[in-house]
């Protein structure tokens, strides 16, 4: 019973390159969230997606960042033209959408992708 999968676990990019982070939710979960954790800080919400739909992206920077969750395949968080300030751990979480409504609020996290921008 696989949990949330993320890859790569570590990613090194030079300034100006693109970073692509992948997330496969838990089996049976169709809702994906992306969070960013800066060093020594808590996680900050970025975006919430369902299959083929962005539901809320209020936490996403307006430029260079985008996310998708296609009908087939993993969710992708894409960062174009990375800068040093993008260095952080990026976590994906998933939740079910069946059962009692309060169960939907519990999110299950992947191991994260640690992005280092040189």
Partner 1 sequence: GNSVTQMEGPVTLSEEAFLTINCTYTATGYPSLFWYVQYPGEGLQLLLKATKADDKGSNKGFEATYRKETTSFHLEKGSVQVSDSAVYFCALSAPISGGYNKLIFGAGTRLAVHP
- Check binding of 112 to partner 1 (CB under 8 A): yes
Task: Candidates 18-26, 63-71, 80-88, 97-105: pick the segment binding partner 1 (CB under 8 A).
Answer: 97-105
86: DSSP letter: G
- Check binding of 98 to partner 1 (CB under 8 A): no
Q: Phi-psi region for residue 59, left (φ > 0), alpha (ψ -120 to 50) or beta?
A: alpha
> Judging by beta carbons within 10 Å of its beta carbon (0-12, 13-18, 19+), is residue 21 exposed, middle or buried?
buried
Find, among 95, 89, 90, 91, the residue nearest to 108 by Cα. 95
Q: Residue 14 or 62: which CB sits closer to partner 1? A: 62
- Check binding of 8 to partner 1 (CB under 8 A): no
- Check binding of 107 to partner 1 (CB under 8 A): yes
Residues that bind partner 1 (CB under 8 A): 4, 6, 31, 33, 35, 40-45, 48, 55-56, 58-59, 91, 93, 102, 104-112
């Amino acid at each position: 019973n696989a949990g949330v999968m993320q890859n790569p676990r570590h990613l090194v990019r030079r300034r100006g390159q693109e970073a692509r982070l992948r997330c496969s939710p838990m089996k049976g979960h169709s809702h994906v969230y992306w969070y960013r954790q800066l060093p020594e800080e808590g996680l900050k919400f970025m975006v919430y997606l369902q299959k083929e739909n962005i539901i809320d992206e209020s936490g996403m920077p307006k430029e260079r960042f985008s996310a998708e969750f296609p009908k087939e395949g993993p969710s992708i968080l894409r960062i174009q033209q990375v800068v040093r300030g993008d260095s952080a751990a990026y976590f994906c979480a998933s939740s079910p959408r069946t059962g009692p409504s309060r169960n939907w609020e519990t999110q299950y996290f992947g191991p994260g992708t640690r992005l280092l921008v040189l």
